[in-house]
Amino acid sequence: MWTDREAKEQIIQITNELFAHGLLTATGGNISARAADGETIWITPSQLYKGGLHEEDLVRIRRDGSVVEGSRAPSVEWQMHWGAYEARPDTTGAVHTHAPVATAFGITNQVFPPINTDAIFLRDTPLVPWYMPGSKELADAVHEALKQSRGCILQNHGLMTVDKTLRKAATRAMMIEETAKIVLYVKQFGGTVSYIPDEWVERLAPLADFI
């Protein structure tokens, strides 16, 4: 388990990285990490520019959303983050992005065909129907989806990823966006699409747990 200082430092670092890569918008998307006590989480604040966050901007909250530490309001998606931790108790980090290609991927009801190994590893990524952002309904739907996979695409909204470390959750979010881009490029190029043979899909699928 890490210290609160380490948790906050990694939230800021990963927020900066995801913003630089265009996966977070000016105020869209949010990131959280378990606090050192194991009973609360640190989360990015509501409606604050993601390109200039500082540690003092982060908020530590309880399961009911009440603030333990910090002077700002927590992200409106705090219920969704708590739902993610409850779906996977070994999770220490959660990432919600508004990644543009993955968002469009979900809006158009796409799936990951076996075009590369990442697509095979991500083929269990479910699509969560649209619910009002910040709502209990969305939090409940994401909770159920994350029991199936460590990432899900939120229709007309974005994506959510979780993992044993915040770094791995962020990596999965990047993988979903990059693989969705490749699907887009394949459709734009047209022509005959080459898929990984079924035999190798089955052999590679169990390795998904290692990413």
Domains of the chain, earliest start first: 4-210 (3.40.225.10)
pLDDT at 167: 96
d(CA 147, CA 197): 28
Whether 77 is catalytic: yes
Position 2 scores a pLDDT of 83
Average pLDDT of the segment spanning 175-189: 97
User: How far is the CA of 151 from the CAs of 126, 144, 173, 193, 195, in angstroms?
Assistant: 8, 11, 8, 26, 23
pLDDT of residue 1: 61
Q: According to the model, what pLDDT value does residue 206 have?
A: 80
pLDDT for residue 77 is more than 90? yes
Q: Spot the catalytic one: 39, 77, 177, 199.
A: 77
- Helices 78-87 and 136-148, packing angle to 10 deg: 30
Over 70: is that where the pLDDT of 211 sits?
Answer: no
User: Pairing state of beta strands 41-43 and 158-163?
Assistant: unpaired
The pLDDT-based confidence of 136 (bands split at 50, 70, 90) is very high
Distance CA 132, CA 134 (A): 6
pTM, rounded to two decimals: 0.94
